[in-house]
Amino acid sequence: MTLPTVDGLRFVTVGQDDELAEPLMAELAVEYSTRYGGTPATVTSWLRSFPAAQFEAPTGGMLIGLIDGTPVTGGAFCRFDEHTAELKRIWTNSGHRRRGLARVLLVQLEAAIVERGYRRVYLTTGDRQPEAEALYLAAGYTRLAEPLPADGDVYPIAFAKELQP
């Protein structure tokens, strides 16, 4: 299999509170509040309500993709169950979208997930993120039929993918 690449893109492992993760957290807060309501401040509080330790080794991780030292993409994963990791915080800087960065990010996250011993990936995205749905389907994820509980008028959509060690 040929792995997708983007010239100049390199990945670093960071913690949720690392300064390199700040653009990810800030832009996600704006994006989620725009699509789903609330304010960036309330969304930031919600994002930070997840303990940073769950996105750290040995059961999780967070990667930030850099071009010329600038964060342009990133995401995290945490333990879902013994064999499954859950993807979280998948983000690409709005000025760098449609260049394949998110696809490369998924490949990097999946490799880190396999290194942690997981065999499966699970994720949810909101029904107001058609770009995310398209990305996951194109990357080989299967949309799950399970109905997830709505949060007000927001309907989560679940995906899963089996990984090869």
Cα distances from 124 to residues 19, 77, 86, 150, 159, in angstroms, run 26, 12, 8, 12, 6
Q: Can you give the pTM of this predicted structure?
A: 0.91
pLDDT digit string, tens, across residues 115-158: 999 999 999 998 888 999 999 999 999 999 876 777 777 778 99
Is the domain spanning 9-118 CATH 3.40.630.30? The answer is: yes
Parallel/antiparallel/unpaired status of strands 84-92 and 120-126: parallel
pLDDT digit string, tens, across residues 2-15: 455 678 899 999 99
Instruction: Name the residue ranges covered by the structural domains of the chain.
Output: 9-118
Residue of 28, 128, 33 whose CA lies nearest to 88:
28
